[in-house]
Amino acid sequence: MYDVAREAGVSQTTVTHVLTGKRPVSAATKERVWDAITRLDFHPNEMARALRRQRSHSVALVLPNIVHALAPVFARHAGVRLREHGFQVTIHETDGDPETAASIVGALASWPVDGAIFSGFALGPDSAEALHRRQIPFVNCGVDDEEVRPWPVVRLDQGEGMRQVLEVLAERTAGAIAYVGGPAGAPGADIRRRAYEREMARLGRPVDERLIASVAYDWRAGRQAARSLLGTGLPFGAVACANDLIAIGVCAELRGRGIAIPDDVAVTGFDNIEPDAMVEPTLTSVETHMDRIAQEGVDLLLAAMGGQEDLAANVLVQPQLVRRASA
Amino acid sequence: MYDVAREAGVSQTTVTHVLTGKRPVSAATKERVWDAITRLDFHPNEMARALRRQRSHSVALVLPNIVHALAPVFARHAGVRLREHGFQVTIHETDGDPETAASIVGALASWPVDGAIFSGFALGPDSAEALHRRQIPFVNCGVDDEEVRPWPVVRLDQGEGMRQVLEVLAERTAGAIAYVGGPAGAPGADIRRRAYEREMARLGRPVDERLIASVAYDWRAGRQAARSLLGTGLPFGAVACANDLIAIGVCAELRGRGIAIPDDVAVTGFDNIEPDAMVEPTLTSVETHMDRIAQEGVDLLLAAMGGQEDLAANVLVQPQLVRRASA
DNA sequence: CTGTTAGCGCGTTCAC
DNA sequence: GTGAACGCGCTAACAG
């Protein structure tokens, strides 16, 4: 910039103001400065700028693992929206480990981002406090429980999703409705399971513990779960699954045994991932609207970075049943 | 840091050297400084550090779209490896638009990253030149053509993948082997199509233009392609697809018409995406080893950032056929 | 409308 | 072993 100023025969101050427009500059000078800028191929150093202005125009996106089914979708929507507002996005993965998450929060103190979005896991209270202490605005998206927290949270109304699922399944069958949940303690597992029990009660359907399985969130585990459900010898007319991968596994196993879906047994998933439309039969699932969650999260963050203090908003995004062939 | 120095009763210089260890500091002083650091919860400002040292310890990851099938896998592996080496990762999406890509390269001049990884598209020569001029080391991963470029490139040996595919299909059937490619000009479409023709020739199989389709890289397009292949009335015993989504669509359509896979028609995909193991029949495909591509790319970049000049390496990663039920 | 000065938070001389 | 002073590249405060 020093060179630009010299080349244009003005002070650095003037160059700055040509760049930022924060002060009127005569057309002639402006012209000469722009000329020098293009001639020297000058680009302002954002790092120095950030240091001086105490704003880096960058936000950290912290999530368990970018490979998880919905993570890229979230990252995409959040990223686009943030970039629209002139923010750069840095990405951090916790690997689902709270300790790693905490250390990332610690590192955030060194890399002065203007804000942070935590997605796909619940922030620990100590981390939240640390961020607060360092005045780093943040939001916590995709939290998989119902706890109310004293910081901004955007979550999906999982109970409502389960309600819609069970409504459809109850229509489909008068028989028992089994449930295959995620592993206890895993994100979303507990809340979805409780929602299942609650909604079953509301529908006046009995819950039989023997028809409830808890397995890993993947496809093989789904097959396995179907086997053990069938192994009980108990009849059932539907299976609600906590996750699409599980549901696809369940379908595969059932079909392998000659059980017709949805006529003999109806099956539902949850999350509405891409393969749902490609498997046979296509899978009825629940759209979790990652786009809206990301949008709400970013909007909240932008507001917080804009100076609005202490808004501990609790946004609840409504899911939507996507009805396909399996139920 | 000023505060830490005062609290410990030393100069800022000493604090720096306690932090960086670039100069011996007496145990007693070190003790007092660490004490002050923890007491004041001090974290060095990486931004200021970067400005001073002219190294930001961050690299830019530029890709078309994080939602694309293999992008998150690449981002994951590259990210982990870069973080292991103390680098932060910023993410940028081109949306497949060369202009956007060029503007990102321009922005990189302002945001002084230590290096950049471009993945999933071929960098333009002008962008490469701009990076060179600004002394920003970079690598270009996942380039989908065979052109030799004067900058570091890591690519998959797509011809070899197609060779493996056709070898299997040729074993399966003595009949015609149809091909469903991606849209002309799309990433990987041309190279895979040419590889198909070349390998067919090597196998002594005739190529019938009427049994070649070019469609979008998605599932619906695959169904459509299968319909038009069947519509020709020409018999064929196998279909090689340029992409798994297309292949899954082809399978769906064939099965819908009562055609047995692989007995009547064998089908193969390409990329080995997750759903391959979940569809019926499971899809034979080609593993593209994004982990290895990412690793090679990062290693190349680390070497370049380490000061090794002008290494215009051309790494070729070998794909591997994953044999499943569809062929 | 423009320039001079000071300083963002550090690391690196060069001195002791 | 330690400290004082300067500067990385830029912007804000204070002049005129």
The pLDDT, as a whole number, for residue B308 is 74
The pLDDT, as a whole number, for residue B310 is 65
The pLDDT, as a whole number, for residue A200 is 97
| Cβ–Cβ under 8 Å, residues A251 and A281 | yes
pLDDT band for position A146 (50/70/90)?
confident
Q: What is the mean pLDDT of chain A?
A: 94
Tell me whether residues B278 and A66 touch, CB distance under 8 A: no
Q: What is the mean pLDDT of residues A277-294?
A: 96
Nearest to B248 among A45, A255, A278 (CB): A278
**Beta-carbon contacts of residue A101 (< 8 Å; ≥ 6 apart):** A62, A94, A118, A121, A123, A124, A127
Tell me whether residues A91 and B90 touch, CB distance under 8 A: yes
Q: Which residue has the tokens 């962008």?
A: B127
Distance CA A237, CA A224 (A): 18
Residue-wise pLDDT for A178-235, tens only, equals 999 999 888 789 999 999 999 999 999 999 999 999 999 999 999 999 999 999 999 9
List residues bridging with B287 in a β-sheet.
B271, B320
Nearest to A248 among B72, B88, B278 (CB): B278
Query: How close does chain B come to A72, measured CA to CA in Å?
Result: 5
The pLDDT, as a whole number, for residue A310 is 65
Nucleotides of C under 7 A from a protein CB: 1-5, 7-13
Spell out the alpha helix ranges (H) of chain B. 2-8, 12-20, 27-40, 46-53, 71-84, 98-110, 125-133, 158-172, 189-202, 219-231, 244-256, 290-305
Three-state DSSP at B37 gives helix
| Cβ–Cβ under 8 Å, residues B149 and B310 | no
Q: Which two tokens stand for residue B230?
A: 């069947």
Q: Which residues from B are below 8 Å from A73, CB to CB?
A: 67
Q: Which residue has the tokens 């070190």?
A: B30
Q: Which residues from A are below 8 Å from B43, CB to CB?
A: 106, 109-110
Q: Which residue of A has its CA nearest to B56?
A: A47
Q: A88 at the B interface (CB within 8 A)?
A: yes
Tell me whether residues A66 and B79 touch, CB distance under 8 A: yes
The pLDDT, as a whole number, for residue B156 is 95
- Closest-CA residue to A90 (of A57, A124, A64, A55): A57
Q: What is the mean pLDDT of residues A83-97?
A: 95
Tell me whether residues A88 and B110 touch, CB distance under 8 A: no
Long-range CB pairs of A202-208 (<8 Å, 24+ gap) are A202/A163, A203/A166, A203/A167, A203/A170, A205/A166, A205/A170, A205/A176, A205/A177, A206/A176, A208/A176, A208/A234
Q: Which residues from B are below 8 Å from A90, CB to CB?
A: 58, 88-91
Q: A100 at the B interface (CB within 8 A)?
A: no
- Closest-CA residue to A179 (of A222, A214, A212, A208): A212
Distance CA A207, CA B145 (A): 57
Order across the sheet with A212-214: list the strands.
A212-214, A177-181, A238-241, A266-268
Chain A (155-214) residues lying within 8 Å, Cβ to Cβ, of chain B:
none
Span CA (A195) to C1' (D13), Å: 59
Nucleotide nearest to A51 (CA to C1'): C8
Residue-wise pLDDT for A74-84, tens only, equals 999 999 999 99
List residues bridging with B88 in a β-sheet.
B58
Domains and CATH numbers, chain A: 2-42 (1.10.260.40), 58-157+291-318 (3.40.50.2300), 158-287 (3.40.50.2300)
- Compute the count of residue pairs across chains A and B with CB atoms less than 8 Å apart: 111
Three-state DSSP at B155 gives strand
| Cβ–Cβ under 8 Å, residues A75 and A63 | yes
Per-residue pLDDT tens, chain B, 327 aa: give them: 899 999 999 999 999 999 999 889 999 999 999 999 999 999 999 999 999 999 999 999 999 999 998 999 999 999 999 999 999 999 999 999 999 999 999 999 999 899 999 999 999 999 999 999 999 999 999 998 888 999 999 999 999 999 999 999 999 999 999 999 999 888 789 999 999 999 999 999 999 999 999 999 999 999 999 999 999 999 999 999 999 999 999 999 999 999 999 999 999 999 999 999 989 899 999 999 999 999 999 999 999 998 776 677 899 999 999 999 999
> Could you check: is the Cβ of residue B20 within 7 Å of any atom of nucleic acid strand C?
yes
Q: Which residue has the tokens 């769906």?
A: B252
| Cβ–Cβ under 8 Å, residues A243 and A251 | no
Report strand pairing: A238-241 vs A266-268: parallel
**Beta-carbon contacts of residue B136 (< 8 Å; ≥ 6 apart):** B108, B109, B113, B114, B115, B116
The pLDDT, as a whole number, for residue B232 is 97
The pTM assigned to this predicted structure is: 0.94
